[in-house]
Amino acid sequence: MDEKRYQDWWQLHVRVALGERLTSEEENVYLAGRTELESEEQAERKPETAEVQYLQNRVRELISRNRELARQEELLSQQAVQLEARYLSVTGERLGLEV
């Protein structure tokens, strides 16, 4: 909406906000202007929405990856404990890794 039309619309908006009644023609102009402004606002938000969705998906991926890495860490820690126990039983010495 260009500046002139916005200023005209704004005057109608102020009147509506103050509870004044608009003529049928004014009401049509007011409603059309409001619809146009809402459409412009919605169009401006679409890139933000897409970015938020991308970031949400990325966070979910990272959470999943973090869980997988934690699972792998646990398995490796268990293997290290088992190997150290086996080494102790064979040599009688501790490796001192204490993972």
Question: Do residues 29 and 9 touch, judged by C-beta distance below 8 A?
Answer: yes
What pLDDT score does 67 carry?
Answer: 97
Whole-prediction pTM: 0.49
Domain residue ranges of the chain, discontinuous segments joined by +: 3-91
Mean of pLDDT values over 8-14: 95
What pLDDT score does 59 carry?
Answer: 97
Q: At what angle do helices 3-17 and 24-91 cross, to 10 degrees?
A: 100
What pLDDT score does 61 carry?
Answer: 97
What pLDDT score does 99 carry?
Answer: 60
Residues 36-92: tens digit of each pLDDT: 999 988 887 777 788 889 999 999 999 999 999 999 999 999 999 999 999 999 999
Tell how many helices (H) and how many strands (E) occur in the chain. Answer: 2, 0
